[in-house]
Amino acid sequence: MASIKDLKKDINYVLGDIIEAVYIVEAANNKHDSKEGLEVIDGAIATFDELIAKVNQKDVENRKAHFKSVRQELQTKATKLVEKLNKIGG
């Protein structure tokens, strides 16, 4: 099983890359600070806060299953954010 440290890094890198992609797409399309872009960024920040709080939870019965569900939630939410990002660039 991957360590908690690795899971936190994955959360940080995935959501950080999505935020960075928003800035790149907006710069490429000359749509700086668009409403849609800010929605994606706010969603990424909220997802980060939520997932880190879940990783730091101490009162979990089965830690391995808990971390697996956090990783799956990261994948699901990141996919939705990328879909929103693609609409900005499209």
Q: Is residue 48 pLDDT above 80, yes or no?
A: yes
Q: What pLDDT does residue 2 have?
A: 61
Tens of pLDDT, residue by residue over 49-74, are 999 999 999 998 999 999 999 999 99
Are 74 and 16 in contact by the 8 Å Cβ rule? The answer is no
Q: Is 52 helix (H, G, I), strand (E, B) or coil?
A: helix
Instruction: For residue 28, give its domain range.
Output: 4-89
> pTM for this one?
0.90
Rounded Cα distance, 49 and 30, in Å: 29
Longest dimension (CA), the chain: 49
Please name the residues in contact with 41: beta carbons below 8 A apart, sequence gap of 6 or more: 19, 22
Number of folded domains that form the chain: 1
The model's pLDDT over 7-29, given as tens digits with 9 standing for 90+, comes to 999 999 999 999 999 999 999 98
Q: Cα–Cα distance between 60 and 87 in angstroms, integer? A: 38
11, 48 Cβ separation under 8 angstroms:
yes
